[in-house]
Amino acid sequence: MSLAERDGVLLELMDDPGCDPELLRTTLRRFETINRVVSGWGHIYRSRIRPYLSALDRPARVLDLGCGGGDVLTHLAHRARRDGLTVEWIGVDPDPRALEVATTRSSPAGASFRCTDSGSLLEEGESFDLVLSNHVLHHLTSDELLRFADESRRLSRGLVMHADIERGRVAYGLYTVWITPFAPGSFLRTDGLRSIRRSYRRAELADVLGAPWRVERPFPFRVLAVAPGLADA
């Protein structure tokens, strides 16, 4: 199997509306452990999010688009609360199955979840200081990706940050071994490997998104697409 080119046709099991609901719930719940290890939001929070929110010197609003089971938003909200930041955290996902898991989490005050999407939020006139996502980009078709990127900028009056996997043989091999103890009773092995095959390399994502997006590699096997918001433009 070649990873030289992105596989934009392969579908993940959890994206099937008819997939096994218990396997999906287990997958979404275990993402908390997986994301703590591989997604690097702790580093992004310390180096990017905390300094940015602190510099606002006022209460802030943060949106997590495609929040899934809500673990990333909850993790960031707990960190911000410990740091004394006043933030309203809103996680949205169009899949009610994901929101079912998200709303069962023990979230700090100021964190909430809604079953909606970026287009609907724009129609409502919503705006945020920071819009972010985790592991959303590789799920999208090329047209969906450009629309998602544009809508996320139009929702933000400050920053936009989209984090994702970077495709590569080393990432694929390491994940195959590392995921073994977490995989039983879930989609984690199959979908994780499919996610890597669907994901972009840094230069590919930069080419697709274009200016003013800046695509960084904050650490191995990860990409972070960053752009200024358009809500106040």
pLDDT at 171: 95
pLDDT at 144: 96
pLDDT tens across the length of the chain (233 residues): 689 999 999 999 999 999 999 999 999 999 999 998 889 999 999 999 999 999 999 999 999 999 999 999 999 999 999 999 999 999 999 999 999 999 998 778 889 999 999 999 999 999 999 999 999 999 999 999 999 999 999 999 999 999 999 999 999 999 999 999 999 999 999 999 999 999 999 999 999 999 999 999 998 999 999 999 998 76
Number of structural domains (the chain) is 1
Q: What is the dihedral of CA 66, 72, 78, 79, to 10 degrees?
A: -120
pLDDT at 1: 62
The answer to whether residues 119 and 207 touch, using CB atoms and an 8 Å cutoff, is no
| Burial (CB count <10 Å: 0-12, 13-18, 19+), residue 5 | exposed
Helices (H), the chain: 21-38, 41-44, 50-56, 71-82, 96-102, 118-123, 142-155, 169-178, 188-198, 202-209
pLDDT at 233: 61
- 2 in a domain, yes or no? no
Q: Name the amino acid, one letter, at 36.
A: R
What strands, in cross-sheet order, belong to the sheet with 222-228?
A: 111-114, 87-92, 60-65, 128-134, 156-165, 222-228, 214-216
Under the phi-then-psi rule, with left for phi > 0, alpha for psi from -120 to 50, and beta for the rest, what region is 159?
Answer: beta
Q: How far is CA 158 from CA 56, 129, 229, in A?
A: 10, 5, 5
- 3 in a domain, yes or no? no
DSSP helix/strand/coil, 224:
strand
Task: Spell out the residues 6+ positions from residue 10 whose beta carbon is closer than 8 angstroms to its own.
Answer: 194, 197, 198
- 196 in a domain, yes or no? yes
Write out the residue range of the structural domain in which residue 63 sits: 13-228
- 64 in a domain, yes or no? yes
CB atoms within 10 A of CB 96: 8
0.75 exceeded by pTM? yes
Distance from C-alpha of 58 to C-alpha of 150, rounded to nearest angstrom: 26
CA 35 from centre of chain: 10
Q: Which of 131, 135, 133, 138 is nearest to 154 (CA)?
A: 131
Q: How far is CA 91 from CA 5, 22, 31, 54, in A?
A: 32, 22, 15, 21
CATH of the domain at 121: 3.40.50.150
Q: Which residues pair with 128 in a beta bridge?
A: 156
